[in-house]
Amino acid sequence: AQQPGTPLSDQEYRQFFRSLRAARGASTACLLRALYGCQNPLVQTLDKYENHGVIPEGPICSELPGTPFFSDFCAFSFYRCTRKKYFIKV
């Protein structure tokens, strides 16, 4: 265990910055979604990428306890963005 106040190891820094980049990318995608909506071609490209090429249609069930159902993928994505729970899956 590291002493409090000491710098991270090289491996710890790699992990730290990897998670920051992922969250920053997710928040950027959320900003695009908020600005342009789900019908924007760039947002749709991101949604397709996240879902192996196809945006799920119809109701969406998620891993979120207490909020398992969304009317569509767009509503689910907006929910993730507003709650900053970027990596919750359907």
- The whole-number mean pLDDT for each consecutive block of 10 residues of the chain, a chain of 90 residues, reads 74 80 87 95 92 89 79 91 83
pLDDT at 1: 60
Q: What is the pTM of this model?
A: 0.74
Task: Tokens 């009317």: give the residue.
Answer: 71
